[in-house]
Amino acid sequence: MVIDLDKCTGCGACSVACMSENNIGVLHNETDKIRSITWLRVYQIDNGKAFPDTEVAFIPRPCMHCQGGKSGTPGQAFFQEAPMDEAAHPPCVSVCPATATDYDEKTGIVSQIPTRCIGCRYCVAACPYHARYFNWYDVPWPKGTPRALSPFVSPRMRGVVEKCTFCYQRYQSARNKALVDGSEVGEMDYQTACTEACPSGAITFGQLQNPKHKVHKLISSEHTFRLLEKLQTNPKVYYMSKREWVRKMADNYVTRHNKFAQAAAQGGHQQ
Amino acid sequence: MRRWFDDLPKYADDSSWWPKGTKRCRPEFFLFWLGVPLTLLAYFTVGAVLCLALGLNQTNMNDYFAFGVWIVVDLAVIGLGAGAFFTSFLNYIVGKTELKPIVNAAVLIGFICYVGAILMLGIDIGQPIRGWFGFWHANVHSMLTEVMFCITTYAIVLTIELLPSVLDNRRISRVPEFGTFSHNLHTIMIVFAAAGTFLSFFHQGSLGGMFGVLYARPFADRGGLGIWPWTFFLFIMSAIAVGPSFTTMVVMITEKITGRKLTKHNVKMLMGKISGWLLVVYMVFKSADTMWWAYIKLPAAGLTMDQMYQAPYGYWLLWVELGLCGWLPALMLVQEKVRASYGWMFVAMLLACIGITLNRFVFTIQSLALPVLPFEKFYAYLPSWQEWGIASLVLGFGLLVFMLAYRYLPIFPQEPELND
């Protein structure tokens, strides 16, 4: 996925579409943002300057579907679709004691199995992007609304963790259709709900390694970046911005005048 | 001198159940003081019922503080309870039989710590009814899986290690079958001590590994040896260093409360010496680890120490953990003069225990409190009254079991001769 932050207006349509597509409930108190569930959260950032130099940007943040493991460029088998090249190691997957989350080597999607989750929240602690959400409450579905839920996504129960799945149910349905047609899953056959809902076309979705897909071309732009690249989580969500201050906001940089620390930082910045 | 309560009627005489050659307070007083742990357990019950019935929204945890006071207490008591396996290891396997008078107490304290921790974890997970999934769908790559397996099996080992003390009760041992069983258990105790050592070594390490493997959380992330982060080894070292101190401290507190001598001072001094030297070794490695983390690891992630220690979790935590409650008790306990003094040894052991608790606190809370994304907010966390209720389980359960064991079981073999 590639998100052009210069096109994002922060309207939140992606979040709403995500909630609707994935049967995310609305709690009694949605102002408690550190306990409510928003698979795709939109952050607002600014350049820290006073008016009239103030600039604002919005960062939609789905699950990054980290691969972890080896760093490198897309051309260097960064996202291996041929399994067994190198074991994927997302921060959240290996920690789960009950194998309730997994890394799909074929699609690169980090899955979540709510019915197997024991609710230990170790994966929530492991994720630096805060992309994982725990169900602190029972969802108070208003009378009649369950009939309007999507039949392709199971609503989650209290006490389990959930997260963005890149609308995996859409991939399953596209795969089934391709199987019946005897074709392959095309770029437009599988698009996430947030991609479709974005009114300014800021979100592009596809296979990063497929040269025919638009995202493959986009990630070679000099303006693309990912969040917290230094931690070597290898996210599959790329961002684009021509504004340098926005790109700088994506990671941490040693600013203290410390020769030793700066030298180490340069050595540690692999990507 | 006649005391006012000497004329009160005796409702029950349980003296035939007391360990041979010992004296205990009257049953009425004992029942009265049992009120303390029972009150704590009632508090726990209220919190537990609320959390189980209404969910973990009863706590102040959230998606930023996925772990809270329960995990801190769990890690701390499991670390402090390490005196059980390490004292058993030294006594049964290394052959340090001078520790025999304190082994029973160490096992009892370990049993309390582990069972208390397991009970708390049962509330801590969002789906307690699925707790067994960790065994059935075990993910062998997860440090938490290892923790689950090891603390459960080690709690069973501790129960078996404690069983001879129960069977050695004056009344129970009169039953010939129990007496024989107890004798046979004593003879094979080395097997359980070895099993306990193996299990405990691993899960103390895994508890540390749990944090060290969080490679996207710069406060906790540590490199390591193979699949084991440095915290794996540091947690083992800190647990075996402070476990004997905690055991000795509990014995000393019991002595002060009951007014009876329970073990000879040379036994306590030996425990202090073991604790002190192991603490020195731990502190050397811990200090080196901290320096490496501060000057190599953090800058590589684009961060500095200043960002890691923000109010209210400021630098004071580091100095208290490594200085006041790390190096200071280590240097105190290696000195014979300090160990010879009942009071100073107690102070040093108390500081060491606070140090390990702080270490578990920072790894749990501070790791999560610090935002990693540059545009994220910093949040602080304070537990709710329901969380404190559940955390008080360890204390309530511990006091209850320890009071009952002290009154009825021969936990302290030196007590009769020391109180003639």
Residue B227 has a pLDDT of 82
**Closest CB to B125 among A68, A120, A252:** A120
Q: Does residue B14 carry a pLDDT above 50?
A: yes
Give the best residue of A118, A135, A262 to mutate against chain B (max B CB count within 10 A): A118
Q: Buried b / exposed e across A191-220, counting CB within 10 Å, b at 16+?
A: bbbbbebbeeebbbbbbbbeeebebbebbe
Interface contact flag, A117 B374, Cβ < 8 Å: no
Confidence of residue B202 (pLDDT cuts 50, 70, 90): confident
Taking the C-alpha atoms of residue A4 and residue A254, their distance in angstroms, rounded to an integer, is 26
Give the best residue of B54, B72, B127 to mutate against chain A (max A CB count within 10 A): B127
Taking the C-alpha atoms of residue B168 and residue A228, their distance in angstroms, rounded to an integer, is 60
Q: Which CATH class is domain A2-268?
A: alpha beta
Mean pLDDT of chain B, nearest integer: 93
Hey, what are A187's tokens? 């770029």
Which H, E and C letters describe chain B, residue by residue?
Answer: CCCHHHHCCCCCCCHHHCCCCCCCCCHHHHHHHHHHHHHHHHHHHHHHHHHHHHCHHHCCCCCCCCCCHHHHHHHHHHHHCCHHHHHHHHHHHHCCHHHHHHHHHHHHHHHHHHHHHHHHHHHHCCCHHHCCHHHHCCCCCCHHHHHHHHHHHHHHHHHHHHHHHHHCCCCHHHCHHHHHHHHHHHHCHHHHHHHHHHHHHHHHHHHHHHHHCCCCCCCCCCCEECCEEHHHHHHHHHHHHHHHHHHHHHHHHHHHHHCCCCCCHHHHHHHHHHHHHHHHHHHHHHHHHHHHHHHHHHHHCCCCHHHHCCCCCCHHHHHHHHHHHHHHHHHHHCCHHHHHCHHHHHHHHHHHHHHHHHHHHHHHHHHHHCCCCCCCCCCCCCCCHHHHHHHHHHHHHHHHHHHHHHHHCCCCCCHHHHCC
Interface contact flag, B56 A134, Cβ < 8 Å: yes
Range B194-212 average pLDDT:
91
Residue A261 has a pLDDT of 42
A239-251 pLDDT per residue, tens: 999 999 999 999 8
**Closest CB to B127 among A160, A227, A256:** A160
Residue A258 has a pLDDT of 43
Are the C-beta atoms of B204 and B143 separated by less than 8 Å?
Answer: no
Which H, E and C letters describe B200-258, residue by residue?
Answer: HHHHHHHHHHHHHCCCCCCCCCCCEECCEEHHHHHHHHHHHHHHHHHHHHHHHHHHHHH
* DSSP SS3 for A239: strand
**Closest CB to A264 among B210, B295, B375:** B295
Taking the C-alpha atoms of residue A102 and residue A97, their distance in angstroms, rounded to an integer, is 11
B96-129 pLDDT per residue, tens: 999 999 999 999 999 999 999 999 999 999 999 9
Question: Which residues face A162 on adjacent strands?
Answer: A133
A231 touches chain B (CB under 8 A): yes
Interface contact flag, B145 A97, Cβ < 8 Å: yes
Cα-to-chain-centroid distance, residue B261: 23
Give the best residue of A226, A227, A252 to mutate against chain B (max B CB count within 10 A): A252
Range B362-375 average pLDDT:
92
Q: Does residue A70 carry a pLDDT above 80?
A: no
A101-124 pLDDT per residue, tens: 999 888 889 999 999 999 999 999
User: How far is the alpha carbon of A9 from chain B, nearest alpha carbon, in Å?
Assistant: 18
Strand duo A238-240 + A2-4: pairing: parallel
In chain A, the percentage of residues whose pLDDT exceeds 90 is: 71
Signed CA dihedral, B208, B209, B212, B217: sign only: negative
Residue A259 has a pLDDT of 41
- Chain A residues in contact with B214 (beta carbon < 8 A): 91, 95, 125-126
Hey, what are A46's tokens? 């600014």
Residue B158 has a pLDDT of 92
- Chain B residues in contact with A45 (beta carbon < 8 A): 375
Residue B334 has a pLDDT of 97
Residue A76 has a pLDDT of 46
Q: Does residue A263 carry a pLDDT above 80?
A: no
CA distances to A124, B173, B277, B386 from A120, rounded to whole Å, are 9, 43, 36, 18
Residue A81 has a pLDDT of 44
User: How far is the alpha carbon of A266 from chain B, nearest alpha carbon, in Å?
Assistant: 7
- Chain A residues in contact with B302 (beta carbon < 8 A): 230, 251-254, 265, 269
Residue A71 has a pLDDT of 52
User: Please, is B176 exposed, middle or buried when counting C-beta atoms within 10 Å of its C-beta (0-12, 13-18, 19+)?
Assistant: exposed
Mean pLDDT of chain A, nearest integer: 87
B152-189 pLDDT per residue, tens: 999 999 999 999 999 999 889 889 999 899 889 988 98
Residue A271 has a pLDDT of 27
Interface contact flag, A231 B138, Cβ < 8 Å: no
Who has greater pLDDT, A256 or B219?
B219
Who has greater pLDDT, A146 or B385?
B385
Residue A86 has a pLDDT of 56
Q: Does residue A74 carry a pLDDT above 60?
A: no
Residue B9 has a pLDDT of 60
* DSSP SS3 for A39: coil
Q: Does residue B56 carry a pLDDT above 60?
A: yes
Helix (H) or strand (E) holding A266: helix A259-268
Q: Does residue A75 carry a pLDDT above 50?
A: no
Residue B7 has a pLDDT of 64
Range B347-366 average pLDDT:
96
Of the listed ranges A19-28, A110-119, A255-264, B311-320, the least confidently predicted one is A255-264
The fold of the B22-369+387-418 domain, in CATH, is Formate dehydrogenase/DMSO reductase fold (1.20.1630)
Who has greater pLDDT, A87 or B252?
B252
Residue B11 has a pLDDT of 61
Confidence of residue B1 (pLDDT cuts 50, 70, 90): low
Who has greater pLDDT, B15 or A263?
B15
A129-166 pLDDT per residue, tens: 999 999 999 999 999 888 889 999 999 999 999 999 99
Nearest to A89 by CA among B173, B270, B184, A80: A80
Helix (H) or strand (E) holding A177: helix A168-181
In chain B, the percentage of residues whose pLDDT exceeds 90 is: 80
Residue B8 has a pLDDT of 61
* Minimal-distance CA residue of chain B relative to A131: B63
Nearest to A130 by CA among B373, B159, B227, B306: B373
Q: Does residue A257 carry a pLDDT above 70?
A: no
Are the C-beta atoms of A145 and A116 separated by less than 8 Å?
Answer: no
Range B317-322 average pLDDT:
96
- Chain B residues in contact with A269 (beta carbon < 8 A): 300, 302
DSSP-derived letter for residue A89 is B
Range A42-48 average pLDDT:
94
Domain ranges of chain A: 2-268
Cα-to-chain-centroid distance, residue B47: 22
Q: Does residue A77 carry a pLDDT above 90?
A: no
Are the C-beta atoms of B261 and B418 separated by less than 8 Å?
Answer: yes
Range B18-42 average pLDDT:
94
Q: Does residue B282 carry a pLDDT above 60?
A: yes
Interface contact flag, B127 A132, Cβ < 8 Å: no
